[in-house]
Amino acid sequence: MRRDHKPYSIRLLINWLRRQYTNWYVVPQFDSVGTGLEIIGPRGLEVYGPDIHLGDNVHMQTAQGQMSRLCTWPDGKGGNGRIDIGSHCLLTPGLQMVSAAHITIGDNVMIASRVYISDADWHDVYDRLDSPGATAPVVLGDNVWLGEGVKVCKGVTIGENSVIGAGSVVANDIPANVIAAGNPAREIKKLDSSRPLTKRETMFEDRESYNKTMVYLHYMHHKDNSYLSWLRHLIRPSKKG
């Protein structure tokens, strides 16, 4: 649709139902969850396996046709994978994060759509029946930003504040405070150390103000929508506003 025609009261109802579904069904799938979790499209999130942990103010999004998955798997040696996601992180549609060792995501990390992060090969090179194959932990430092379609391979550490360009394959460590891209991803340039970095945590320094802002934005987006126009666009969409 060209825009959202739902009346404001319907938006409030949908938001409430989404929170109930998240708290009732999704949150219990995690071993620990901080405060301020928000999942847009929780029915499009698959959480599988133990030892998956979320920090505070984690925002997750899914989209129709772009399911997201957080998955831990036995390591074949009596142990199990683990995923730790820090506070104030943004995880967007199509994310696949699969662990048989340990994936650590720092605070304020932003992950764009269709990113794949894995700490295992999932099959041995010579014995294709042996699973999960070779494993090695993955670490994303604080304030890392992964562009759309990035793939992060086992054993990789990406240093704090670094940005990985869209479509890159990260097969080796990336230092802190750089922009990297390519296949395999390589440093392209260093970040300007003289410029301050604004991190996502800034949004949540005043939680009450943040909540009021979100309510206001929803209201402004829907306040002019009527039930009649909403029903009309449901039955017969048009280019008219």
Examine residue 184 and say whether the peptide bond preceding it is cis (omega within 30 degrees of 0). yes
CA 166 to chain centre: 15
Q: Which residue in 59, 123, 218, 221 is the catalytic one?
A: 123
Q: Is residue 123 flagged as an active site residue?
A: yes
Active site residues: 123
